[in-house]
Structure formats: structure tokens, C-alpha cells
């Protein structure tokens, strides 16, 4: 059997570790690259005995020389707590990382997938968000290191495609949740579950009326694989996410009920530039990839709660 050689940057992270699993299941030879800023060895420890899995500690802001056929570029802290910790490094990871991975793809003629983000839409004035919406981003705000870094990375991907004929795939990922989320990443699902399991007050920023759409990790990884396998003309950008929308308050109440917690809700000021609404229009993903999420929020939350319950009991 000839196995595809696949590189996953950020492979020890939440999404990356699930992707590495699926690629191994598909008989790929997987190289996982991570600098462990937010990635965790626990996420990939169970893969280390697989002879077709290789772990490389490396920072994508420096060039990497490998022979691969496909590249999934997932390397970048994705939660405000982490990407605002060192905003200059966050921008470097998005921009220098993209340049280095695109350079590798150009040399090896690999197809390269970019994990972009719904944050390219900023605080949107169009709802739901479609791929042709150009966004409402504050370029000098505290979230700009991530938002504008990812926007610049998209620019680089399409310039390499036009200038060098590179096969690219650009996915705009909306809120995703599931097992292996970092317990201290500050994202709303992990925050609420950890606080509820500990019996702590659940902190809602703003009045809780702002909305998000939550996609379970298995559905998201399936979309990644379908997009990579699509014809070369499918460059994206494609929205990937769950179009079912929830208010933040409704999510908190659902988590409290599911965990049997007695946590109370407390309200704190909304962070600067925090989006009021976030909901993907996934018509293109449905049409082009034949994909839409299948895991219901109740089922996904149940699996995620079980993961965090086990994690906190250690």
C-alpha cells in the first residue's frame, strides 16, 4: 500500500489531534508538527505507538523541510486568552507560518489546506455570514492579531494560488467544540462546562443575548477531509460550521441542566470587539462538499461534558 504523506501543523491541538486520528484511520503517513504553546501531548499520546505517526516539535514561524503530498495548516492559538497573550507572536504564526508552509507546498507541489476562521468577518453587519461578505474588523483592536493575521494568511494563499499555481483549500471555521478542548482556553463551551462541573459561578460576558453556532469536532474534521479530497478548482474560502444558532445564555442554561450543576449565572462586561452574532451560511459547503453537521448539540455536549468530567477527576 502506498500511503499519502500528510503534514498537520498544530497537530497536537484540539482540532489537529482529531484530524491526525482520522488521517491515520484513512491509511495516511502522518507527520504532526506542534510547538506545544496550546497543543498538548495528552491529545496525541495514544497515537505515538502507531508506526505511521510521527511527532515533530517545531514552530511554524521557522521554515520546515520535509517531503509531503498534503499539508493541513492548523497552527495558531485560536482562543482570545491564548492569542492575546502574545499578540505579536500570534500575527507571526498566522503570517510567517503561512509563508513557510506555502513555500513548502510550492517546493513539494503539495495541496495545502488553510484553517482560516469566522473571525475574518469581525463583528458582522450581515447575518448569517456568507463567503462573499468582506467583514467588519477593527484592524487595531485587541483581537486584530488573530483576525487580521488570518485575513492576511488568506491573502497569501490566494496570491500563491494565482502566482504559482498552488493547489489550495481555505476553510473559514466557525465555533467548534468537543473532547480535547483546552480546559483553560477561555472559549465559551469549555468555560461553561468546567465552571459548572466545579460548581463555580458561570461567567457570561455581556447580557447573554449574543449568539453563536456550535459545530461538533467530528463533523468539522469530516468537512476538512472532504474539502481536501475535492477537485482542485475547489479553493474556497468555504464556511464550515453549524448553522443552528444559540444565545450564550441558552447555552449556559443547557450546560447547567446537563451537568446537574447548581452554578449561578453572573454577568461581566463584554470584551472589546466581541462579535454580537456569529452564524455561518453553509450553502456552498452543502453544494460543493455534500456536507452539513449531523451531531446535535445535546449529543455533542454530552460527549464533551464526559471528557471534562474525566479530566477534572484525575
Domains of the chain: 5-177+215-243+279-294 (3.40.50.720)
**Which DSSP state fits 129?**
B
Higher pLDDT, 140 or 185: 140
Neighbour count for residue 146 (Cβ, 10 Å): 25
CA distance 78 to 16: 12
pLDDT of residue 187: 85
CB 282 within 8 Å of CB 243: yes
Strand partners, 29: 5
Helix (H, G, I), strand (E, B) or coil at 33: strand
H or E stretch covering 192: helix 188-198
Residues 104 and 66: beta-carbon distance below 8 Å: yes
pTM: 0.95
Of 84-88, 140-144, 245-249, least confident by mean pLDDT is 84-88
Q: CB of 143 within 8 A of CB of 151?
A: no
Tell me which residue has cell 497536537: 12
Q: Dump the DSSP string for 137-187.
A: --TTSTTHHHHHHHHHHHHHHHHHHHHH---EEEEEE--EE-TT--TTS--
- For 80-89, 98-107, 175-184, 291-300, which range has the lowest pLDDT when averaged over its residues? 80-89
Mean pLDDT of 253-269: 92
pLDDT digits (tens, 9 = 90+) for 9-20: 999 999 999 999
Q: Is the dihedral of CA 265, 268, 273, 276 positive or negative?
A: positive
pLDDT tens track for 37-75: 999 999 999 999 999 999 999 999 999 999 999 999 999
Active site amino acids: 146
Burial of 92 (0-12, 13-18, 19+ CB in 10 A): middle
Burial of 2 (0-12, 13-18, 19+ CB in 10 A): exposed
Look at residues 179, 174, 194, 147 and name the one whose alpha carbon lies nearest to residue 241: 174
Nearest one of 217, 153, 182, 152 to 36, comparing CA atoms = 182
Q: Which of 169, 30, 164, 24 is nearest to 108 (CA)?
A: 164
Residue 286 in this model has a pLDDT that exceeds 80: yes
Return the half-sphere exposure (C-beta side, CA atoms, 13 A cut-off) of residue 167: 18
- Average confidence score pLDDT of the chain: 94
Asked whether residue 1 carries a pLDDT value surpassing 90, the answer given is no
**Nearest to residue 29, comparing CAs of 57, 6, 1, 56?**
6
Cβ 8 vs Cβ 32: under 8 Å: yes
Say whether pLDDT at 79 is over 70. Answer: no
Least reliable range by pLDDT among 181-185, 188-192, 298-302: 181-185
Task: Specify the pairing of strand 111-117 against strand 168-173.
Answer: parallel
Residue 257: count of CB within 10 angstroms of its CB: 11
Amino acid at each position: 500500500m502506498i500511503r499519502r504523506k500528510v503534514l498537520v501543523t498544530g497537530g497536537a491541538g484540539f482540532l489537529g489531534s482529531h484530524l491526525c486520528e482520522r488521517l491515520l484511520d484513512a491509511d495516511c503517513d502522518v507527520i504532526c508538527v506542534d510547538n506545544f504553546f496550546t497543543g498538548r501531548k495528552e491529545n496525541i499520546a495514544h497515537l505515538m505507538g502507531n508506526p505511521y505517526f510521527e511527532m515533530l516539535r517545531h514552530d511554524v514561524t521557522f521554515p520546515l523541510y520535509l517531503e509531503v503530498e498534503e499539508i493541513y495548516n492548523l497552527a495558531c492559538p485560536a482562543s482570545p486568552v491564548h492569542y492575546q497573550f502574545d499578540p505579536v507572536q500570534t500575527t507571526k504564526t498566522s503570517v510567517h507560518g503561512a509563508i513557510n508552509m506555502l513555500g513548502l507546498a510550492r517546493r513539494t507541489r503539495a495541496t495545502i489546506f488553510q484553517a482560516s476562521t469566522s473571525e475574518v468577518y469581525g463583528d458582522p453587519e450581515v447575518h448569517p455570514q456568507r463567503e462573499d461578505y468582506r467583514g467588519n474588523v477593527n484592524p487595531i483592536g485587541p483581537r486584530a492579531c488573530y483576525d487580521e493575521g488570518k485575513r492576511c494568511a488568506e491573502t497569501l494563499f490566494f496570491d500563491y494560488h494565482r502566482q504559482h499555481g498552488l493547489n489550495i483549500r481555505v476553510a473559514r471555521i466557525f465555533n467548534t467544540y468537543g473532547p480535547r478542548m483546552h480546559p483553560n482556553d477561555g472559549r465559551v463551551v469549555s468555560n461553561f462546562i468546567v465552571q459548572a462541573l466545579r460548581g463555580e459561578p458561570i461567567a457570561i460576558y455581556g447580557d447573554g443575548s449574543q449568539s453563536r453556532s456550535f459545530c461538533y469536532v467530528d463533523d468539522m474534521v469530516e468537512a476538512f477531509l472532504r474539502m481536501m479530497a475535492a477537485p482542485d478548482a475547489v479553493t474556497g474560502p468555504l464556511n464550515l460550521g453549524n448553522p443552528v444558532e444559540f444565545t450564550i445564555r441558552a447555552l449556559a442554561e443547557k450546560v447547567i441542566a446537563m451537568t446537574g450543576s447548581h452554578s449561578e449565572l453572573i454577568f461581566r462586561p463584554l470584551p472589546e470587539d466581541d462579535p454580537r452574532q456569529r452564524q455561518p451560511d453553509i450553502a456552498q459547503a452543502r453544494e460543493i462538499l455534500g456536507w452539513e453537521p449531523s451531531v446535535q448539540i445535546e449529543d455533542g455536549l454530552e460527549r464533551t461534558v464526559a471528557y471534562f468530567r474525566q479530566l477534572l477527576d484525575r
